[in-house]
Amino acid sequence: MARVRVRYAETDQMGVVYHANYLVWFEVARVEILRSLGLSYKQFEAEGFMIAVIDAHVRYRSPAKYDDDIAIEARIEALRGSLMRFTYRVMRVEDSTLLAEGETTHIVVNKTMEKTALPQHYAEAFRNLMNG
């Protein structure tokens, strides 16, 4: 789980969080999944791999506003070869209001953007998290 505090720059003229910022928060939560496993996305890239987003969906439930303390839960829902799917729940910490839900689908690629299998040690760690 990741936590962020809504910054003023993340809000729009209506005083609510601009819709695209939820996708940024999804990324923050994905990186935290790696950290929770003792892994690093920086190291993943150093090994020659990247995780490209190929599909993203967000369902907005309630508006987040400036200075809200936000928790973003991320889960790995599917893992097959080079394909990964994550799901997310964004909650306001103060009152546990569900702000948004979403999912992203990714494909593992190498430095030349060619599809490749997820390295075995990452796949094992992700499967253990999914099954644990």
**Residues with catalytic roles:** 12
Greatest extent of the chain over all pairs of C-alpha atoms, in Å = 46
Tell me which residue has tokens 């695209």. Answer: 20
d(CA 45, CA 109): 10
State phi, psi for 117 to the nearest 5 degrees.
-70, 150
